Amino acid sequence: MKISDIFCLILFAIIFNFTSPAFSSETNKHSDSNEKKVNLFSFKGNTGENDNTSSFVTKSVLLKLDKSAVRNFLTNENTDILFQIPLSDNTSLELELTRSYPLADEYEFKNRITSENQTNRINHGIHYTGSVKGIPNSLASVSIFKNFVMAVLSDEYGNYVLGSVKNNDNTYSENYIFYNDADMKIQ
Nearest to 98 by CA among 141, 135, 69: 141
Q: Above 90 in pLDDT, residue 162?
A: yes
| Percentage above 70 pLDDT, the chain | 70
The residue-averaged pLDDT of 55-59 equals 86
- Tell which wins on pLDDT, 123 or 140: 140
Please report which confidence band the pLDDT of residue 109 belongs to, taking 50, 70 and 90 as the band edges.
low
Between 165 and 187, residue with greater pLDDT: 165
Residue 85 CB: number of other CB atoms within 10 A?
25
Query: What's the whole-number mean pLDDT along residues 151-168?
Result: 94
Q: If we measure between CA atoms, which residue out of 55, 49, 148, 47 comes closest to residue 162? A: 148
Say what the pTM is: 0.73
* Amino acid 21: pLDDT: 34
Q: d(Cα 144, Cα 73) in Å, to the nearest integer? A: 9
pLDDT of residue 180: 95
Average pLDDT, the chain: 78
Q: Is the pLDDT of residue 55 over 90?
A: no
Residue 180 CA to residue 128 CA, distance in Å, equals 20
Give mean pLDDT, residues 107-135.
75
